[in-house]
Amino acid sequence: MKQAITVVIQAGGASSRMGEDKALKLFLGHPLIERVIDRLAPIADEIIITTNRPVEYEFLGLRLIPDLKPGRGALGGLYTAIASATHPLAAVVACDMPFASSTFFEDARRLMVSGEADVVIAKTDEGYEPFHALYRRETCLPAIASAIDADQWKVISWFPEVKVRTLTSEEVFSFDPSGLCFWNLNTPEEFLEAEKRATGQ
């Protein structure tokens, strides 16, 4: 039996380079966050949004969760995401990833179960990709809580405490042949480029 997945989309962060909330910026005529939701809905047993501006996201009709560890940066955000999940596995995704991949998470779930891993994550030239990765709630949550209590700030500071399955570049390619699933949009120019890619132009 497949272990159930909660998809957690992290939203509501201010975007200085974009000049507006990226999640609500229109992408091909709809708020970007709606595209991310639609892409991940096929593998989700539950979808929740983490945001400190819940009123702006009420139109989605989903459960909205504010920061449980305010002021603790990305690590606090990851804690909130995993703590809020009600299912054993949490697929954590940033709201500004228009090519977020449900296939990636299906394959990651298989690897997590077969390898008894706690985290399945890609490592690209940019480093680890913690905001398009799969986490086992039971083991990851206490490890992250301990890292926060120890005044750690790095989002992967707790990795030595759990079993991390780092994907090879070959695996990442097989999970996501487009190579776009980790692309997060930071500027209006990147938005335009992503819309062109999405429409095959």
- Give 20-31 pLDDT, tens digit per residue: 789 999 999 999
Q: Is residue 124 part of a domain?
A: yes
- Does residue 75 belong to any structural domain of this protein? yes
Torsion of CA 9, 122, 176, 94, to 10 degrees: 20
Q: What is the pLDDT of residue 1?
A: 62
Domain that holds residue 169: 5-192
In the DSSP assignment, the letter for residue 159 is G
pLDDT of residue 125: 86
Count CB neighbours of 101 within 10 A: 22
Which is nearest to 171 in space by CA: 101, 93, 89?
101
Is 197 part of any domain?
no
Concatenate the DSSP letters of all residues of 142-153 into one string.
HHHHHHHHTT--
Whether 199 is in a domain gets the answer: no
The enclosing domain of 161 has a CATH number of 3.90.550.10
46-50 vs 63-65, strand pairing mode: parallel
Helix H or strand E segment including 120: strand 119-124
53: in domain = yes
- Give the H/E segment covering residue 184: none
Torsion of CA 68, 108, 115, 47, to 10 degrees: 40
Residue 151 within any structural domain of the chain? yes
Which tens digit of pLDDT belongs to each residue from 147-193? 999 999 999 999 999 999 999 989 999 999 999 999 999 899 999 99
39, part of any domain: yes
pLDDT at 85: 97
How many structural domains compose the chain? 1
The tokens for 111 are 């690897």
Distance from C-alpha of 12 to C-alpha of 77, rounded to nearest angstrom? 11
Tens place of pLDDT for every residue, the chain, 201 residues? 689 999 999 996 656 566 678 999 999 999 999 999 999 999 999 999 999 999 999 999 999 999 999 999 999 999 999 999 999 999 999 999 999 999 999 999 999 999 899 999 999 888 999 999 999 999 999 999 999 999 999 999 999 999 999 999 899 999 999 999 999 998 999 999 999 999 985
Would you list the DSSP string of 10-69? E-----TTTSS-GGGSEETTEEHHHHHHHHHGGG-SEEEEE-S-GGGGGGG-SEEE--SS
